[in-house]
Amino acid sequence: MTSPIKPPEGNWWDQTVNRRESIWLGLGVVWSLVLFGWMSIWTRTGDQNPIGETYQVSESEFREKMNAYEEAAEETEQGLVPEGTDVYMAGIRFAWDGAPVVLEAGTQYDFHLSSYDVQHGFSLRPEATLSKQINLQVLPGYEWVVPMTFDEPGTYHIICNEFCGEGHRSMHDTIIVTEEN
């Protein structure tokens, strides 16, 4: 039994590293680099969750954009039908401005997300499998443009996923996705 306090015998600091150990270390380093590179490239070019672009925007600017968008869109029983492929949505305690919205499956939309007051969480979940989600933090002062395509028609729920005050748990709206025309 050697003592945990006592240093090992001899000149342990300058002992040469075994050749096989060096090879293993080298392999470890190379493998880490491969993993890092793979992860980074995969994030950019793989068929992964879209990242999108962000822009700085003031609350009033975004409200203007939202008004113009709502004016151009068609009001239906189920919700707004946007004119083009741009969809605007903003969190405001405790509702989603611009929702409910009616979209088509198979079309790529650009979601413009922002908040009028505090931070909200934009968690999007298909009704049938609530487990599939994409989740973004929606911050006031920023507009986030995220490209999204809905593969399946159906109802999608937008759930606020960041604390935003007393009514936080009731902050919920829907996106209706119809069949491809």
Partner 1 sequence: MGDDFPPMRSVKRWLVTTNHKDVGMLYLSTALFFLVFGGVMALLFRAHLWQSGGAGLLTDSTYNQAVTSHGLLMVFWFLSPFAAGFANYFVPLQIGAKDLAFPRLNALSYWFYLFSGVLLMISFFIGGTFEGGWTMYAPLNVPAYTPFEATAGGTATILALMMFTLSITFGTINFLTTIHRQRAEGLGLWNMPLFTWSWLLTAWMMLFAFAALLAALLLLAIDRVMLTQYFGAGEGSSLLWAHIFWFFGHPEVYIVFFPALGIMFETFQTFTGRRLVGRKWVIIAMVLVTVQSFLVWMHHMFLTTINLEIKTLFMATTIGISLPFDLMVFALIYTMIKGRVRFTTPFLFSLGALVLFILGGITGVFLGAVVLDYEFRGTYWVVAHFHYVMVSGVTALIAGLYYWWPKITGKMYDETLGKLNFAVYFVGFNLLYFPMFLAWETPRRVFHFAEGMTMYHQMATVGAFVFGASFLIMFYTLGKSLVSGPDAPDNPWEFSRTAEWTIPSPPPLENWDGRPSYATGRLEFVEEKHTATDGGTGINTIEESNAVLDAHEHEEEHADHASIWPLGIGFGTFVMFLGISGLGPYVARFANAQGANVDGFGDPNIVYPILAVTGLGLLLYFLWQFGMEEFQAPKMEVAERWPFEGVDNGKFGIWVFLASDVVVFGAALGAFIFMRLHTGWADWTIVPPAAWPGLLNTYVLLTSSFTVILALVMAERGNKKGLLATLTATLMLGFTFMGVKAWEYNAKFAEGDYWFTGLEYSIYYVTTGLHGLHVLLGLLVAGFMIYKIILYDAYLDDHRPVEYFGLYWHFVDIVWVFLFPLFYLM
Residues at the contact surface with partner 1, assessed by CB under 8 A:
1-8, 13, 32, 35-36, 39-40, 42-44, 46, 48-49, 51, 54, 56, 58-59, 93, 117-119, 121, 123, 125, 130-131, 133-137, 139-142, 144, 159, 161-170
The nearest distance, CB 97 to partner 1, in angstroms, is 15
The nearest distance, CB 37 to partner 1, in angstroms, is 9
The nearest distance, CB 166 to partner 1, in angstroms, is 5
Please identify, using beta-carbon distances, which residue of 65 and 168 lies nearer to partner 1.
168
Please identify, using beta-carbon distances, which residue of 81 and 116 lies nearer to partner 1.
116
Please identify, using beta-carbon distances, which residue of 82 and 140 lies nearer to partner 1.
140
Residue by residue, DSSP assigns the chain as: ---SSSPPSS--SSPPPPHHHHHHHHHHHHHHHHHHHHHHHHHHHSS-----EEEE--HHHHHHHHHHHHHHSEE-SS-EE-SSSEEEEEEETTEEET-SEEEETT-EEEEEEEESSS-EEEEEEESTTTT--EEEEE-BTEEEEEEEE--S-EEEEEEE-S--STTGGG-EEEEEEEPP-
Q: Which residues of 113-122 are buried (b: 16+ CB within 10 A; e: fewer)?
A: bbbbebebbb
Please identify, using beta-carbon distances, which residue of 49 and 76 lies nearer to partner 1.
49
The nearest distance, CB 89 to partner 1, in angstroms, is 15
Residue 171 structure tokens: 């902050």
The nearest distance, CB 77 to partner 1, in angstroms, is 26
Please identify, using beta-carbon distances, which residue of 13 and 77 lies nearer to partner 1.
13
